[in-house]
Amino acid sequence: GQQVMQIPQYQHVQEGEDFTTYCNSSTTLSNIQWYKQRPGGHPVFLIQLVKSGEVKKQKRLTFQFGEAKKNSSLHITATQTTDVGTYFCAGPSNGGYQKVTFGIGTKLQVIP
């Protein structure tokens, strides 16, 4: 079945350093979403990418969708303590209308 792999699983950075998480799918995706889950909270939708090679920015966050639409990345510039949490990518599942498959997530710790 379809797999969505995400690396790294954990990342510790000093405040002010950059951070990147990568997402790879075993199949071509029509779109990819990114979510953030703060400690003790629920996942919150951040963004959806649809086009091959698409790049979108939200303040210090940059999201990219690969040319082959099988991989994606989230880059945070100059991390802050408010960036702490787990970042998930997700893509449409095979054979399921409106189903998505989530990556395992990357847990980010920011050391002040």
Partner 1 sequence: DGGITQSPKYLFRKEGQNVTLSCEQNLNHDAMYWYRQDPGQGLRLIYYSQIVNDFQKGDIAEGYSVSREKKESFPLTVTSAQKNPTAFYLCAISSTGGHEQFFGPGTRLTVL
User: Is residue 111 part of the contact set for partner 1 (CB under 8 A)?
Assistant: no
Distance CA 22, CA 5 (A): 8
Q: Is 48 in the site for partner 1 (CB under 8 A)?
A: yes
Check: CB of residue 28 under 8 Å from CB of residue 70.
yes
Contact 83, 76 (CB under 8 A): yes
Contacts with partner 1 by CB under 8 A: the residue count is 23
Q: Is 3 in the site for partner 1 (CB under 8 A)?
A: no
- How far apart are alpha carbons 110 and 54 in whole angstroms? 28
Residue 35 touching partner 1 (CB under 8 A): yes
- Under rule CB under 8 A, residue 97 binds partner 1: yes
Q: Would you tell me which residues interact with partner 1 (CB under 8 A)?
A: 31, 33, 35, 41-45, 48, 88, 90-92, 96-100, 102-105, 107
